[in-house]
Amino acid sequence: MPGLYILPSSWLLDATPEAVWETIASPDMSWPRWWPGCTLQELATGPSADPGDPIARLLGTTVRLQFQAAPGYRLSVAIHPTRALRPRNIEFDADGDLAGTGRMRLFPASSPGPGWRPGPGSRLGSGWRPGPAWRLIGG
């Protein structure tokens, strides 16, 4: 894909990977509750998603989120999970202002750095590989 970007981010969280998984893999797509600058625009779950199976519900869900980018800019992105391995990995397709693929990965982090409280922790890594879904003027 021409114009491909790599957008990594990493979070250190004061919770076990299993507890973090319950939040990031929730079919209600609660990402705006913990991701600054992210707001929910639309949430849809396919009719064939098994309501008794959280992974099937997650994979049957598409969410449109809006992200605050540079001052004055907002990006609208539809995210559809395509693969989920509990409690470590979610892969997704993205469409909208940016289109491509991404992955959220969880790792245990028992001692990630200074100031960290004792106890279990997690490292959440997010990697998106999008390209613009629109042509730049003169591009």
In a domain, 2, yes or no: no
Per the structure, the complete domain to which residue 53 belongs is given by 7-130
Domains contained in the chain, number: 1
Cα(67)–Cα(7) distance, integer angstroms: 13
Closest residue by Cα to residue 120 from 1, 24, 10, 20: 20
pLDDT digits (tens, 9 = 90+) for 99-127: 999 999 998 886 555 555 656 788 999 88
The pTM is what? 0.80
In a domain, 77, yes or no: yes
In a domain, 32, yes or no: yes
In a domain, 73, yes or no: yes
pLDDT digits (tens, 9 = 90+) for 51-92: 888 888 899 999 999 988 878 889 899 999 999 999 899 999
Q: Which residues on neighbouring strands pair with residue 129, listed in sequence order?
A: 101
Residue 69, phi then psi, degrees to nearest 5? -100, -140
In a domain, 120, yes or no: yes
Instruction: Give the CATH number, domain containing residue 65.
Output: 3.30.530.20
- In the block, which residue shows the tokens 């919770």? 15
Reading the block at residue 138, the tokens are 């003169």
In a domain, 137, yes or no: no
